[in-house]
């Protein structure tokens, strides 16, 4: 009522706006057409083209206006006649109920009809049912549309109001052309007619809804009566067919019993007739069953098709409203759940073979005389004329029965094929409907938002739910369930007592297994599954106690306890799982002893698991209240419960969980594998998931939250199961590696003992050789273990992704709902011409996911490649960095191309932009572009690599980074030097370790005149041989090069393996040469300046000073 008043005020406001607008007489279509023809003959200027477009639009609007006025008139008449039509429909319903006949009455009326008459009636009823299906589709569409009239009326009036205001502003403007003014005035009149239609529709909404509902009930009742009559007709046809077959069998049996001949051939032929008649009776009964199944499947198919049309109409009419979720839940419950017929394909194949064989058999008997002659030859008997006449009548009778049998088999074949086709349609439509309903349920609000109104109505809703819960408890028939409950409880108690009696022995067995893990001689791969099995046995008593309590509650408090067994077994399974996980994580338990989990981490996880068990149990059972009478839409108790549990999970359990994971990550700090990334993801997810679910419930997406919670718990179970399986496989590999290492060590010791017995010489050398060999063997075993672990890890991660896909696969189709939300459209050119392509919300979501995945991959690419690839193969220096950089560029390009392609920006549309950018880069950003291309060349050609020591121009240093624009060097003073990539391509470059890291070191030495040259060479080579870093090949060499001014110049040329060995080698050689020359009195000559003063009178020189010159 409030909605109607609001819409009435809105409509009056629109009328006021219309009355205040500038009016003139509307142009006629003839006038507009005349103006259009005149303008089309004029010169086609820009203004003229605009006027022509306005006139064409005006013609279209005039047609729409006339159609809208006609619709208004038809709707008015329909509302005026709705009262009479409603009375007529109600009277028709009363007549149908009065004339409704029971099955016995229908069968009685069919008693005097022949089979052909009844088949004609069947065809007539099928035609009537098809017409009723069409009528029901139209009525459902009209009813669904009528139910959404208030919402659509409000949206239309609001939209029209904004458009009318814009038109009034345009008409008031003096710059509006005459053609545009005519167009706007026609559009204004059209909007007024549209508003009038909506107002009429709203005023007659109640009458039309009642009429359509009554007509729908009328057609549904008529459909039910016709379907019942059709079933009874088919039953009558089947009965008469069966009676005829029974009659034929009785005649064949009578002929066999009245046979007075002693001829065994005739007796055998009569026996064949009897068996054929029995087969005819059997196939007639089978045909009757198939006929009934065909009717049942056809009815299911008709109902499904009708449901599909109803759902499409309702989704189209109620899109975006809260009513849609109610309709979806109702339709989901109304989907047919009848069983399908299995094995039809094999049955059809067998029928075809049987029809062929029987047809061949009948063809052999078509010529009766020939068949009798063949009997004479095969049986080697002679028939009298009387016997031949008798055989002829027997064969003719058999041909008639076989013809009837073939007819029955062909009818079976046709029915089987028809049933199979109908079942395929039923399955296809059912899957489509389930997928569509799931999509709609997931993305549509199922409940009202949690706001002040929610809390105001909370007491009412809670009292309603509590009353409904109280109705479910029924103590009236507990005495009938005492026996069955007692039997089940006794069995569970016996099993519990039996396990508890053996509990100490089982614990001793587990302790013994754990003690055997200490030495490899007693360790075995089967110890872990054995310990897991006995631990699981110890967890069963608490599970049995849970089931006993469940039986006591359900069998004495519920009228039908079997309905709760599914829930009870599911909860018992969860209980067993959590108790088992607690047992694994107990101190010195399987997690620590077998799976090598640190004691502190296992203790932390065990404490968290203890506290979170009841939280998970509540989350698992919050959806139980959705099965009440109000359904998910009014499940306020479940909403409050779910939000409360999520808040507790977020504030109490979550922080401790993240702390425990962080502590466990610290123990794995040295292992940068996929497991650390998984734990990091779980830490982040445990924080954001509860927040997101609480927000969803608050916004009204309660059903969506329940679905996500269920899948998250299943993912948790899958993940923990996978971790346990991973630990078990690691344990198996560890035991195998220990046994392999022990076996190889034992073999080497035996070989060593054998060698010692054979020879007692060189014991020390032999012991040294044995130790080296043992070390090499241990290394080989570790390499084998690492390789197997990597392969197993790869397979385990694939298994984990498979498990998660299995858990979430049913929600993949939910994303396709977003494909119907169009964001924008664009034109694309194809072979058939220009078509419009829609970019949907799903495209945007996929593009965002692609970009996110691309970002995550490139951020972690180096670590992933190091773990999965580079650690398994040996590559040259700098190759991993080159591969990582190039692969990063490729992933960025592919991710960007895929993401932009999802948004409609394909290469065909971007190529001209790239062409223009390339021209701009060629001129305006030439240097940057040249550096970028040079960087690509460096990565492919690899003149420098990460870690190379290079000299370019006046700069020397170690390459640390190769980026898109420049390369970073770290010089020998530790400073970072940024060198543009172009310099590495255009300038001279010295790479000290490009193809070979071996370099030559030259030591120059000058000795005094008179020194022993052979001794000098010997000492130089001795110094070189004493250096550990000097290579033996190429061998060091010493040369006497020149006679200097005051020295005999020598050079010592040696080679070192690494660039970093140069300076230490020069330092060692200089020190050692100086030491050796001093020991052997070899003087290292140097330049010397002597200053003398000469006395001119006495011609005497006096030496004043002596200075050594470098």
Digit-coded pLDDT (tens) for 842-857: 788 888 888 888 887 7
Which of 761, 780, 811 is the last residue in one of the domains?
Answer: 811
Q: Residue 448 falls within a domain, yes or no?
A: no
pLDDT of 886 strictly over 90: no
Give the Å distances, CA to CA, from 604 to 607, 609, 616. 5, 9, 18
Residue 1104 is assigned to a structural domain of this protein: no
CA–CA separation, 366 vs 355, rounded Å?
Answer: 16
pLDDT score of 495: 92
- The residues, ordered by sequence, that sit 6+ positions from 179 with a Cβ below 8 Å of its Cβ are 35, 50, 51, 54, 55, 58
Per-residue burial over 240-276, b if 16 or more Cβ lie within 10 Å, else e, is bbeeebeebbeebeebbeebeeebebbeebbebbbeb
Give pLDDT, residue 541.
92
Pairing of strands 1087-1095, 1048-1056: unpaired
- Higher-pLDDT residue of 974 and 357 is 357
318-336 pLDDT, tens per residue? 665 555 666 666 666 666 6
Please indicate, yes or no, if residue 451 is contained in any of the structural domains: no
Q: Do 158 and 101 lie in a common domain? A: yes
* Residue 1109's pLDDT band (cuts 50, 70, 90): very low
Mean pLDDT of 934-958: 74
Domain final residue pick, 685, 707, 742: 742
CB 200 within 8 A of CB 193: no
At 871 the pLDDT is 61
Which run of H or of E encompasses 980?
Answer: strand 976-980
Cα-only R_g, the chain: 48
What would the pLDDT profile of 209-232 be if each residue is shown by its tens digit? 888 888 888 888 888 888 888 888
Note the pLDDT of residue 680.
72
Within a domain: 222: no
532 is a domain residue: yes
pLDDT bucket at 1084, cuts 50 / 70 / 90 = confident
Confidence of residue 666 (pLDDT cuts 50, 70, 90): low
| Residue 239 clears pLDDT 70, i.e. is over it | yes
Alpha-carbon span 578 to 621, nearest angstrom: 16
Rounded mean pLDDT, 994-1000: 74
Structure confidence at residue 493 (pLDDT): 92
Question: 666 and 712: one domain?
Answer: yes
Q: What is the CATH number of the domain that holds 1057?
A: 3.30.70.100
Domain annotation covers residue 889 = yes
**Contacts of the segment 60-64: beta carbons below 8 A, 24+ positions apart:** 61/183, 61/186, 61/187, 61/190, 62/29, 62/32, 62/186, 63/29, 64/190
pLDDT in tens, 608-623: 788 777 777 888 777 7
Q: For residues 522 and 648, state if they share a domain.
A: yes
Give the separation between CA 574 and CA 716, rounded to whole angstroms.
12
Predicted local confidence at residue 544, as pLDDT = 92
- C-alpha 246/C-alpha 228 separation (Å) is 27
Residue 132 inside a domain? The answer is yes
137-160: average pLDDT: 79
Same structural domain, 844 and 963: no
Q: Which of 916, 933, 963 is the last residue of a domain?
A: 916
Residue 93 sits in the same domain as residue 147: yes
728 and 602, same structural domain?
Answer: yes
pLDDT for residue 15 is more than 70: no
pLDDT at residue 408, rounded to an integer:
84
**What average pLDDT does range 966-989 have in this prediction?**
78
The whole-angstrom separation of Cα 136 and Cα 323 is: 21
Residues 194 and 298 in one domain: no
840/820 Cα distance (integer angstroms): 7
The span from the CA of 866 to the CA of 925, in Å, is 36
Contact 1082, 1007 (CB under 8 A): yes
Residue with tokens 């040696």: 1054
Query: Which strand (E) or helix (H) includes residue 840?
Result: strand 833-840
Residue 262 has pLDDT above 70, yes or no: no
Question: Looking at the predicted structure, is the pLDDT value of residue 930 above 50?
Answer: yes
Which CATH number do you get for residue 950? 2.30.30.60
| Range 980-999 average pLDDT | 73
The C-alpha atoms of residue 224 and residue 128 are separated, in whole angstroms, by 12
- The pLDDT assigned to 13 comes to 45
Residue 977: in which H helix or E strand, if any?
Answer: strand 976-980
1005: phi then psi, degrees, rounded to nearest 5: -135, 135
Rounded (to 5) percent helix, strand, coil in the chain: 75, 10, 15
Handedness of CA 502, 505, 506, 507 (dihedral sign): positive
Are residues 85 and 178 located together in one domain of the fold? yes
Question: Residue holding tokens 């504030």?
Answer: 651
Can you tell me the distance from the alpha carbon of 37 to that of 56, in angstroms, rounded to the nearest whole number?
11
Task: Give residue 772's pLDDT.
Answer: 35
Domain count, the chain: 7
Residue 259 has pLDDT above 80, yes or no: no
Residue 11 has a pLDDT of 46
Cα-to-chain-centroid distance, residue 569: 28
Q: How confident is the model at residue 256 (pLDDT cuts 50, 70, 90)?
A: low
> What DSSP character marks residue 997?
-
Q: What percent of the chain has pLDDT over 90?
A: 2
Burial of 957 per CB tally in 10 Å (0-12, 13-18, 19+): buried
Instruction: Mark whether 469 and 539 lie in a shared domain.
Output: yes
For 725-741, the pLDDT digits (tens) are: 888 888 777 777 777 77
Q: Is the pLDDT of residue 379 over 50?
A: yes
| pLDDT tens for each residue of 673-706 | 556 666 677 777 777 888 888 898 888 888 888 8
d(CA 354, CA 410): 10
Please tell me whether residue 822 adopts helix, strand or coil conformation.
Answer: strand
Model confidence over 506-533: pLDDT tens digits? 888 888 888 887 776 777 778 888 888 8
State which residues form the domain around 530. 458-742
In the block, residue with structure tokens 């002893």: 593
pLDDT for 969: 82
> At CA 549, angle to CA 501 and CA 568, rounded to 5?
110
- pLDDT, tens digit (0-9, with 9 covering 90-100), for 34-85: 887 877 777 667 777 788 888 888 888 888 888 988 988 988 888 888 888 8
pLDDT for 823 beyond 50: yes
User: Among the listed ranges 244-253, 561-570, 648-657, which one has the minimum average pLDDT value?
Assistant: 244-253
Distance, CA of 714 to CA of 806 (rounded, Å): 10
pLDDT confidence tier of residue 21, bands split at 50, 70 and 90:
very low
Question: In 3D, which of 488, 528, 915 has the Cα closest to residue 727?
Answer: 528
One domain, residues 804 and 758: yes
- Top mean pLDDT of 375-379, 651-655, 802-806, 808-812 is at 802-806
Cα dihedral 1082/1083/1085/1088 (nearest 10)? -160
- CB under 8 Å to 844, separation ≥6 — which residues? 823, 902, 903
Q: Is residue 243 part of a domain?
A: no
Q: What percent of the chain has pLDDT over 70?
A: 78
pLDDT the model gives residue 783: 58
Nearest partner of 462 among 641, 701, 252, judged by Cα: 641
Residues 6+ apart with CB under 8 A from 932: 964, 965, 981
Within this chain, do residues 951 and 905 fall inside the same structural domain, yes or no? no
User: What is the four-CA torsion angle of 927, 931, 936, 938, rounded to 10 degrees?
Assistant: 140
Residue 612 shares a structural domain with residue 632: yes
Average pLDDT, the chain: 77
């Amino acid at each position: 009522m409030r909605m109607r008043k609001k819409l009435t005020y809105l409509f009056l406001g629109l009328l006021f706006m219309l009355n205040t607008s500038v009016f003139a007489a509307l142009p006629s279509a003839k006038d507009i057409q005349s103006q259009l023809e005149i303008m089309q003959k004029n010169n086609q200027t820009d203004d003229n083209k605009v006027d022509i477009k306005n006139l064409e639009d005006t013609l279209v609007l005039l047609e729409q206006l006339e159609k809208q006025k006609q619709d208004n008139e038809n709707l008015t008449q329909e509302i005026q006649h709705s009262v009479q039509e409603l009375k007529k429909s109600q009277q028709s319903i009363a007549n149908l109920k009065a004339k409704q006949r029971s099955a016995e009455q229908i069968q009685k009326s069919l008693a005097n009809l022949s089979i052909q008459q009844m088949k004609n009636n069947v065809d007539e009823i099928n035609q009537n049912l098809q017409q009723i299906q069409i009528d029901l589709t139209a009525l459902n569409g009209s009813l669904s549309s009528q139910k959404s009239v208030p919402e659509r009326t409000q949206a239309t009036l609001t939209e029209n109001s904004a458009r009318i205001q814009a038109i009034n502003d345009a008409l008031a403007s003096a710059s509006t052309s005459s053609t545009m003014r005519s167009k706007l005035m026609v559009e204004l009149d059209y909007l007024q007619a549209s508003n009038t239609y909506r107002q009429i529709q709203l005023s007659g909404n109640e009458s039309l809804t009642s009429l359509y509902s009554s007509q729908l009930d009328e057609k549904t009742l008529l459909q039910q009566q016709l379907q019942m009559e059709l079933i009874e007709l088919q039953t009558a046809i089947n009965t008469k067919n069966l009676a005829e077959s029974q009659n034929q069998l009785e005649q064949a049996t009578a002929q066999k019993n009245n046979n007075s001949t002693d001829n065994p051939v005739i007796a055998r032929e009569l026996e064949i007739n009897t068996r054929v008649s029995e087969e005819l009776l059997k196939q007639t009964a089978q045909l009757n069953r198939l006929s009934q199944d065909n009717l049942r499947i056809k009815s299911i198919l008709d109902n499904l098709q009708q449901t599909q049309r109803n759902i499409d109409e309702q989704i189209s009419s109620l899109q975006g409203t809260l009513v849609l979720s109610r309709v979806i839940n109702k339709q989901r419950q109304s989907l047919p759940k009848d069983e399908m017929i299995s094995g039809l394909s094999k049955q059809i194949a067998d029928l075809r073979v049987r029809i062929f064989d029987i047809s061949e058999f009948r063809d052999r008997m078509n010529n009766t005389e020939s068949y009798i002659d063949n009997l004479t030859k095969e049986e080697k008997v002679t028939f009298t004329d009387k016997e031949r006449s008798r055989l002829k009548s027997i064969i003719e009778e058999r041909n008639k029965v076989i013809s009837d049998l073939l007819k029955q088999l062909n009818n079976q074949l046709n029915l089987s094929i028809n049933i199979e086709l109908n079942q395929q349609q039923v399955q296809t439509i059912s899957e489509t409907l389930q997928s569509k309903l799931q999509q709609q349920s997931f993305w549509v609000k199922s409940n009202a938002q949690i706001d002040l109104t929610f809390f105001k109505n909370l007491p009412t809703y809670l009292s309603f739910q509590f009353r409904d819960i109280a109705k479910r408890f029924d103590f009236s028939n507990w005495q009938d369930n005492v026996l069955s409950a007692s039997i089940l409880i006794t069995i569970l108690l016996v099993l519990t007592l039996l396990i508890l009696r053996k509990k100490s022995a089982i614990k001793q067995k587990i302790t013994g297994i754990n003690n055997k893990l200490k030495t490899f001689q007693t360790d075995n791969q089967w110890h872990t599954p054995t310990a897991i099995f006995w631990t699981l046995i110890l967890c069963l008593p608490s599970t049995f106690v849970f089931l006993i309590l469940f039986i006591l509650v359900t069998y004495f408090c519920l009228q039908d306890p079997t309905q709760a067994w599914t829930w009870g077994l599911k909860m018992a399974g969860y209980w067993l799982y959590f108790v088992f996980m607690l047992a694994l994580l107990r101190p010195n338990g399987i997690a620590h002893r077998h799976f090598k989990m640190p004691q502190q981490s296992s203790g932390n996880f065990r404490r968290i698991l203890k506290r979170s068990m009841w939280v998970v149990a509540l989350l698992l059972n919050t959806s139980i209240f959705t099965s009440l009478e109000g359904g998910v839409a009014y499940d306020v108790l479940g909403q409050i419960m779910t939000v409360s549990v999520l808040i507790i999970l977020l504030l109490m359990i979550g922080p401790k969980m993240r702390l425990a994971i962080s502590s466990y990550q610290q123990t794995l700090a040295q292992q940068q594998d996929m497991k650390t990334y998984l734990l990091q993801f779980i830490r982040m997810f445990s924080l954001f998931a509860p927040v997101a679910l609480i927000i969803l419930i608050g916004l009204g997406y309660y059903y969506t939250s329940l679905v996500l919670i269920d899948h998250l718990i299943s993912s948790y179970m899958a993940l923990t199961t996978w971790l346990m399986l991973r630990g078990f496989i690691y344990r198996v590999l560890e035991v195998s590696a220990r046994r392999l290492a022990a076996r190889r060590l034992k073999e080497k010791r035996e070989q060593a003992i054998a060698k010692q017995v054979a020879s007692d010489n060189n014991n020390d050398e032999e012991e040294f050789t044995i130790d080296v060999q043992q070390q090499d063997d241990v290394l080989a075993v570790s390499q084998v273990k690492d390789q197997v672990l990597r392969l197993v890890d790869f397979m385990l991660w694939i298994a984990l992704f498979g498990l998660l896909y299995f858990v979430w696969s049913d929600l993949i189709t939910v994303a396709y709902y977003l494909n119907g939300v169009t964001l924008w459209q664009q034109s694309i050119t194809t072979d058939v011409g220009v078509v419009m392509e829609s970019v949907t919300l799903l495209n945007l979501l996929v593009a965002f996911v692609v970009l996110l995945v691309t970002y995550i991959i490139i951020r972690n690419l180096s670590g992933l490649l190091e773990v999965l690839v580079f650690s398994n193969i040996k590559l040259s220096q700098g190759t991993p960095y080159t591969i990582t950089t190039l692969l990063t560029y490729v992933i960025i390009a592919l991710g960007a191309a895929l993401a932009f392609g999802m948004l409609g920006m394909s290469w065909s549309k971007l190529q001209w932009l790239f062409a223009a950018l390339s021209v701009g880069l060629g001129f305006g950003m030439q240097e940057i572009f040249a550096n970028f291309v040079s960087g690509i060349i460096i990565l492919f050609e690899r003149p420098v690599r990460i870690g190379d020591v290079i000299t370019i121009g006046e700069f020397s240093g170690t390459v640390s980074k190769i980026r898109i624009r420049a390369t970073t060097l770290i010089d020998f003073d530790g400073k970072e030097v940024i060198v543009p990539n172009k310099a590495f391509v255009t300038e001279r470059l010295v790479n000290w370790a490009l193809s070979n890291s071996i370099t030559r070191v030259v030591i120059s030495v000058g000795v005094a005149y008179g020194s022993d040259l052979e001794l000098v060479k010997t000492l130089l080579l001795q110094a070189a041989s004493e250096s550990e870093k000097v290579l033996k090949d190429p061998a060091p060499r010493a040369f006497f090069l020149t006679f200097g001014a005051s020295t005999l110049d020598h050079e010592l040329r040696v080679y070192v393996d690494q660039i970093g060995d140069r300076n230490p080698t020069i330092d060692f050689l200089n020190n050692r040469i100086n030491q050796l020359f001093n020991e052997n009195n070899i003087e290292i000559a140097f330049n010397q300046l002597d200053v003398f003063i000469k006395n001119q009178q006495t011609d005497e020189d006096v030496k004043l000073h002596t200075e050594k010159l470098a």
